[in-house]
Amino acid sequence: MKHLPYAPLLLAAAVNLAHAADSTPIQLGAVNVTGSQETQAEEDARAAREKSANLGPLGERRLLDTPYSINVVPHDLIQDQQLKSVKDILRYLPSVQGDGARPQSRGLQGSVVQNSRLDGLNVVSTTDYPAEQFDDVQVLNGLAGSLYGPANPAGTFNFISKRPTDERLNRVTVGVGTGLSWLKAADLSGPFDPDGKIKYRLNLLDEQGHSYSPGSTLRRQLVSLALDFQVSDDTVVQTHFSHYNYLAKGLPGKFALATNASFPGALDPTRHNLGQNYAGDNDTTDTASVHIKHDFNGNWKLDVGLLRQIADRESTAVTNTLAATSGTYTSTVATATASRFTINSYLANLNGTEWTGSVRHDLTLGFSGFDWKNYNPVDGATQTLGTASLNDPVNFNEPDYPDFTDRYHSATATQRSFIVGDTLTFTPQWSLMVTGSQSLMSVRNYGKTGATSSGSDDHGLSGAGSLMYKPVDNLTLYVTYADSLQQGDTAPTGTTNANTILAPYRSRQWEIGGKLALEGVNLSLAAFQIKRPYAFTQTNLDYAVAGEQRNRGLEFMADGKVGSNVRLFGGITWLDPKVLDTGSAATSDTRIVGLSRYTASLLTEYQVPQVPGLAVNVNARYVGPRPTDNTDSHWVSSYETFDLGASFTTRLMQRNTVYRLEVTNLTNERYWTNIVPGGLNGYSAAGNASAQLGAPRMLQASIQVDL
């Protein structure tokens, strides 16, 4: 079911059904209120102190009680800014580089599976996810192997699904955006039965039309159903099913560099033929998961989860490779990459509290893992479309594509991690967190005939220790040391040891930080250093670890209300990402390709007191200059973008109604985004950088009505 031609009818039918179910009058009894009522300022301050995130096997914990840099992009921000994808959401976090296929933090590339999770369970990162499916997005920056098992030191991205509500919700949204894309969505929730033993959350989305590029096509269609079954007072079964189709064709292609070439000034992304109207992405992702949560005695709690995901991709995106001769390029389409991923992931976490004398122990026992398989098109290849000039881009003839459903099994990766943890609280001021995971890893690569081309079986320990000091309850100071395993790289074609899988890498991180809940706003500051081994092709054409990547940085974030009418979300990151000891003076002690020294983002929302229900917002983002080659000889310039929006909440025909208007890239800034090196991990002696053009000024307007 890749295309849903009857999605508008489904929306209407679902809304009518929910409205009919809500037609029974509800009798409310008298409510007696005693005690003093909390003021708005006190409520905001309490919300800031109690803001929490899910820390994997450690469960839900206050941000103030976690010795890691963790950011939570909340649901109301996602909704008010009319965000459409996870990539849109991650742009609000200055420490995250989220415009690429794999999200990353602190300047380190993420993996396809290990760094991304849906409700704590591993999922594919290289497919599109709709923002409308999630309640919030939580990002733990840096190393987390002791909590989740081996992963690149790129952070952990946890997408939290919308769950059923206790009260009836029948919400419909219609909207229109740049390029005349028409959006229709419904968010329906509530109990099925009078006792609320079974509750549902149904999200339907249908957006079709065009994007900003001439001749482009856009389609987003989602069906997402979450069910909660209250089996007993102590046990709940939570299920989630989703089907999502994302199609985007005709947008500007990726730009790559031939040897000795450099990027020109950023082009106008609305120009004809920078992409091809038949080329792009057509992704279909089906996901099903179940969590069984049991509370044994109000102290010990168990969470067991399973997930199955099938992500199909028909990738026909264009790459325009710029020649050293100014202004000429060659367009190609690559169709040999994986067209299907399948994931089986699982977890089991047991948490509880015990005491030894005056010392409190918050204990964790966990198990986490996945089985991940890749399937590639049998007839996949790279095809050349033609050569043209940037002064006169060409609409090339459409090539013959392979049958993306005719696949061969190209790789299997498995991972199993046993996790233990203890947070020892000695006094109200001092505590120590210790976590560790013992992991088993296995990788097999296969050729088209089914023969094994390479394989690896490894195991190892990842650990972390944190000392926390709380001079007062709303302030935490901490120092954390962590080391973490990740799967070794595979030697590329052209090396003497091609297809060989290197031994696992071990990354190490120091982090010193502080968190303060001040009135209604959360403030956090962290300094860090991450070191990890670096593999690249040697002069003798061996692919081996022979260098080190060292990323140092400072992160500051603010999230919450400043006064009664102003809310802030954003911060600034200073990053010093270096490659060391490469064996070449030209590439040693250079900045990693594509990374900015300074990145800043700040969303400010102002509730206009003179006009009840009216709110205006502005989001400013800055990204500094970035190198585009391994010797730091060529750079692209910095850029700034500004988004401006407004919302108006009112009652229309006795229904709660919200009007929203958002203009992104208000000044129509032209810029290069998502600059990546030829090697996914950063420096590589083979391959050159690539980049994409940032989106132009775009507009989105919508009306949301609660029926």
Q: What pLDDT does 10 receive?
A: 41
Strand partners, 475: 472, 516
How many CB atoms lie under 10 A from the CB of residue 688?
20
CA 694 to chain CA centroid, nearest Å: 18
- pLDDT tens-digit profile of 414-463? 999 999 999 999 999 999 999 999 999 999 999 999 999 989 999 999 99
Please give the single-letter amino acid code of residue 46. Answer: R
Does 29 map to a domain?
no
Please give the single-letter amino acid code of residue 614. Answer: L
Does 25 map to a domain?
no
Does 490 map to a domain?
yes
Q: If we measure between CA atoms, which residue out of 452, 539, 445, 537 comes closest to residue 493?
A: 537
Rounded Cα gap, residues 371 and 411, in angstroms: 11
Q: Report, as ranges of residue numbers, the positions in the chain whose pLDDT lies below 50.
A: 1-2, 4-34, 680-686
Please give the single-letter amino acid code of residue 468. Answer: M
CA 299 to chain CA centroid, nearest Å: 32
Q: What is the DSSP letter of 129?
A: -
Six token digits for residue 558: 């603010």
Does 611 map to a domain?
yes
- pLDDT tens-digit profile of 636-686? 999 999 999 999 999 999 999 999 999 999 999 999 998 887 654 443 434
Six token digits for residue 491: 């030697």
Residue pair 579/592 in contact (Cβ under 8 Å)? The answer is: yes
Strand partners, 329: 322, 388
Does 641 map to a domain?
yes
Q: Which residue has the tokens 């969303």?
A: 603
Rounded Cα gap, residues 158 and 72, in angstroms: 10
**Which residues are within 8 A (CB) of 156 and not within 5 positions of it... i.e. 6 or more apart?**
56, 115, 117, 139, 140, 144, 147, 148
Q: If we measure between CA atoms, which residue out of 128, 131, 114, 117 comes closest to residue 53?
A: 117
Rounded Cα gap, residues 165 and 162, in angstroms: 9
For residues 135-167, one letter each, b for 16 or more C-beta atoms within 10 angstroms of the residue's C-beta and e for the rest, the string is ebbbbbbbbbbbbbbbbbbbbbbbbbbbebbee
Q: What pLDDT does 679 receive?
A: 58
Does 206 map to a domain?
yes
Six token digits for residue 438: 């013992």
| Total count of domains within the chain | 1
What phi and psi, each to the nearest 5 degrees, are found at residue 49?
A: -65, -35
Rounded Cα gap, residues 361 and 514, in angstroms: 23
Rounded Cα gap, residues 687 and 678, in angstroms: 4
Give the CATH number, domain containing residue 618. 2.40.170.20
Does 485 map to a domain?
yes
Cα→Cα distances 374→148, 273, 313, 425, 583, Å: 22, 32, 11, 45, 35
According to the 3-state scheme, what is the secondary structure of 300-328?
CEEEEEEEEEEEEEEECCEEEEECCCCCE
Does 14 map to a domain?
no
Six token digits for residue 73: 């992009």
User: Domain span at residue 484?
Assistant: 40-706
